[in-house]
Amino acid sequence: MEFTLKTFIFYGFALMTIASALAVVTVRNIVHAAFALMVTLFGVAGLYVFLQADFLAATQVIVYVGGILVLILFGVMMTSGRLEMRIHIERGQLLLGGGISLALLMLLLTVIANTPIWKNLTDDGTQLAPTTERIGQLILNEKFLLPFEVVSVLLLVALIGAALISRKEVRD
């Protein structure tokens, strides 16, 4: 395999994603875990760029790194009241969770090894082309119009549900 700057950067992002994902589930301090998750989400955004999905990468950074992570940190602060909450993992949970994760990993590795199309994937040298306009056309044209509209109803449910659950008790 040719070792170019591109592959070097790719493995950098891949390593960063995996290492930080491991940190998310192993570190004891929940705030450290949240920050490790930020690195994971950022690494995934980098991988999207390698898949030529620039719009997705930008959205990933804005929504996940910028928005969801801040929400998680707020959630930690509001529920525990202090930042140094520790995560306690029972031995049984560790064995069970680890076992299931390993089984899933083996399944996915078998799938990767046995799927022919992935073995002869090569870099065909296509340049990064902006995808934003095409995505916009697809969403507002007939093709993905219905999912787009359904998502707006989905957001309505999320809004109403969150308001209902978090609202103060009303007594009459």
Partner 1 sequence: MPLEIPDINWSLLMPQLVIVSTLLIVLVFDMFDAISKKTLGWMTIVGAGIALWSSIDLLQAGTDQTQFNEMFRIDSYSLFFNIIFLVSTILVALVSISYLGSGDKKQGPYYLLILLATLGMMLMAAGNELIIVFLGLELMSLSLYVLASYFRESPASSEAGMKYLLLGAFASAFFLYGIALVYGAAGTTNIPEIISKLSVGDQLSLLSESPLFLAGIFLLIVGFGFKVAIVPFHQWAPDVYEGAPTTIAAFISAGPKAAGFAAFLTIFVDALPKLPTQATGVIVLLAMLTMTVGNVIAIAQTNIKRMLAYSSIAHAGYVMIGLAAANPDGKSSAMLYLFIYCVMNIGAFGVVIMARTADGENLMISDYAGLGFRKPLLAMFMTLMLLSLAGFPPTAGFVGKLYVFKSAVEARHYWLVIFGAINTAISAFYYLRVVVTMYMREPEEELEFKPYPPTLVIGLVLAAIGILLIGILPSLLLDQAQSAVQSALL
Per CB under 8 A, residues contacting partner 1 are 107-108, 110-111, 114-115, 137, 140-147, 150-151, 153-154, 156-158, 160-161, 164-165, 167, 169-172
Considering beta carbons, is residue 15 or 140 the nearer one to partner 1?
A: 140
3-state secondary structure 60-98: HHHHHHHHHHHHHHHHHHHHHCCCCCECCCCHHHHHHHH
CB of residue 62 to partner 1, shortest distance in Å: 21
CB of residue 4 to partner 1, shortest distance in Å: 26
The contacts of residue 68 (CB under 8 Å, 6+ apart) are 41
CB of residue 58 to partner 1, shortest distance in Å: 20
Please give the Cα distance from 155 to 159 (Å, whole number). 6
Per the listing, tokens 């301090």 go with 29
The tokens for 24 are: 């998310």
CB of residue 5 to partner 1, shortest distance in Å: 28
Considering beta carbons, is residue 115 or 122 the nearer one to partner 1?
A: 115
Residue type for 2, please?
Answer: E
CB of residue 135 to partner 1, shortest distance in Å: 13
DSSP SS3 for 29 = strand
Considering beta carbons, is residue 83 or 154 the nearer one to partner 1?
A: 154
Phi first, then psi: give them for residue 41, nearest 5 degrees: -65, -35
Considering beta carbons, is residue 126 or 152 the nearer one to partner 1?
A: 152
Considering beta carbons, is residue 2 or 79 the nearer one to partner 1?
A: 79
Please give the Cα distance from 27 to 127 (Å, whole number). 39
